[in-house]
């Protein structure tokens, strides 16, 4: 199986590459990434054909698509606040970009396209757990673009017979996820701040809930879908019905570190939903063998990765001496 992973130099993409390299069915991996949020360093030392370019560049996309059996489409502007600030760019990356990927896959004779959507499409719908056939009400341009991408995937399956599978991701976290950009996700921000003895910043009161999903679990499901050519006309929740508030996440983090974590509160962010929990019946039916990592295990692995990164961060001081940035805990 010859894979193309768009956005493969990013957090989920690089983890997917590592998992795919251990998958016997995968014979060749190609990545297309414009490196706007991803990094070559994420793929350093891995046996992968990395091609720099945008999914909106028709020529580069077609060349990257040539000879591929399965496409995993992860490239996106993956930030709710970022999409609120830059709605046109978000639409281009998430809606138009997905259409470009689907059309290129159709033209190049790709067997299957697996693509990343988001639980944010549920938006203002208060029902819990979130079922794939309940109504959607996006609260941000990011969510609206992801919903459009799902619709295009369904349309290409119905109109052209292209096998598609859109996964709605729910707060994916794990090693490799950046903490150091303005729209960083909550767990890497929490872990980094806690390890460096800084207060963690909570937007809102901390009672908002999320269905946190460890990245290796997500990768295992994606690769199983590719290996068995699983497709479905509707999107599929990729989460396991675990509704955890931010204070519970911090309590687990305190257990791992063995000390309290200081909290600081800030206003809620525009476009953020209050509660998120997946109905996972469809996921369990399509992927009966999947086993989800617990939050405790996932957080331990995430903390270990952040500690290792900090231990390798060396500052050069004027006298030529070198010092390693200390990490608390």
pLDDT for 183: 67
Of the candidates 102, 82, 147, 88, the residue with the CA atom closest to the CA atom of residue 4: 102
pLDDT for 158: 98
**Does any domain span residue 286?**
yes
- Over residues 43-48, the mean pLDDT reads 97
**Does any domain span residue 327?**
no
- Over residues 253-270, the mean pLDDT reads 93
| pLDDT interval class at 273 (50, 70, 90) | confident
The predicted model scores a pTM of: 0.91
- Over residues 115-123, the mean pLDDT reads 96
Position 314 pLDDT exceeds 50: no
- Average predicted confidence (pLDDT) for the chain: 92
**Does any domain span residue 96?**
yes
- Find the CATH number of the domain harbouring 39: 3.40.50.720
**Does any domain span residue 12?**
yes
- Over residues 71-89, the mean pLDDT reads 94
DSSP 40: G
pLDDT for 80: 87
Contacts with 201 (C-beta within 8 Å, 6 or more apart), sequence order: 189, 193, 264, 265, 266
As a whole number of angstroms, the distance between CA 139 and CA 143 comes to 7
Position 317 pLDDT exceeds 70: no
pLDDT for 315: 42
As a whole number of angstroms, the distance between CA 30 and CA 186 comes to 30
For tokens 């617990």, name the residue: 294
pLDDT for 321: 40
pLDDT by residue (tens digit) across 168-207?
Answer: 999 999 999 988 876 678 999 999 999 999 999 999 999 9
pLDDT for 329: 42
**Does any domain span residue 40?**
yes
| pLDDT interval class at 24 (50, 70, 90) | very high
Measured over the CA atoms of residue 19, residue 20, residue 24 and residue 25, the dihedral's sign is positive
pLDDT for 138: 95
**Does any domain span residue 17?**
yes
Segments forming the whole domain that contains residue 235 = 2-173+213-241+277-294
**Does any domain span residue 224?**
yes
Position 326 pLDDT exceeds 70: no
Buried b (16+ CB within 10 A) or exposed e, 37-56: bbeeebbeeeebebeebbbb
When divided into structural domains, the chain yields a total of 1
**Does any domain span residue 325?**
no
**Percent of the chain scoring above 70 in pLDDT:** 94
pLDDT for 202: 94
Q: Using DSSP bridges, classify how beta strands 70-73 and 112-118 pair: parallel, antiparallel or unpaired.
A: parallel
| pLDDT interval class at 328 (50, 70, 90) | very low
- Over residues 203-216, the mean pLDDT reads 94
Of the candidates 249, 253, 244, the residue with the CA atom closest to the CA atom of residue 210: 244
**Percent of the chain scoring above 90 in pLDDT:** 87
| pLDDT interval class at 114 (50, 70, 90) | very high
pLDDT for 78: 86
């Amino acid at each position: 199986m010859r894979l193309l992973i768009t956005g493969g130099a990013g957090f989920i993409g690089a983890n997917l590459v590592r998992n795919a390299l251990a998958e016997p069915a995968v014979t060749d991996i190609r990545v297309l990434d414009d490196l706007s949020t991803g990094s070559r360093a994420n793929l350093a030392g891995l046996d992968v054909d990395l091609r720099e370019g945008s999914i909106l560049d028709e020529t580069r996309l077609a060349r990257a698509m040539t000879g591929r059996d399965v496409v995993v489409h992860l490239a996106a502007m993956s930030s709710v606040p970022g999409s609120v600030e830059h709605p046109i760019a978000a639409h281009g990356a998430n809606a138009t970009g997905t259409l470009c990927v689907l059309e290129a896959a159709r033209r190049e004779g790709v067997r299957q396209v697996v693509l990343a959507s988001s639980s944010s499409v549920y938006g203002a719908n208060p029902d819990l757990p979130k079922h794939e056939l309940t109504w959607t009400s996006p609260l941000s341009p990011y969510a609206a673009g992801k919903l459009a991408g799902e619709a295009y995937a369904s349309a290409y399956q119905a109109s052209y017979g292209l096998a598609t599978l859109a996964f709605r991701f729910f707060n994916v976290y794990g090693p490799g996820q950046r903490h150091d950009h303005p729209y960083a996700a909550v767990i890497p921000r929490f872990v980094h701040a806690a390890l460096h003895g800084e207060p963690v910043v909570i937007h809102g009161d901390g009672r908002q809930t999320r269905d946190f999903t460890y990245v290796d679990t997500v990768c295992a499901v994606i690769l199983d879908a590719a290996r068995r050519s699983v497709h479905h006309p509707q999107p599929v929740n990729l989460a396991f019905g675990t509704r955890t508030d931010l204070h519970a996440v911090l309590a687990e983090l305190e257990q791992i570190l063995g000390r309290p974590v200081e909290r600081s509160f800030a206003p809620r962010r525009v476009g953020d939903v209050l509660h998120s929990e997946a109905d996972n019946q469809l996921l369990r039916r399509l992927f009966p063998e999947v086993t989800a990592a617990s939050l405790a295990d996932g957080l331990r692995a995430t903390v270990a990765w952040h500690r290792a990164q900090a231990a390798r961060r060396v500052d050069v001081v004027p006298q030529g001496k070198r010092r390693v940035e200390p990490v608390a805990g």
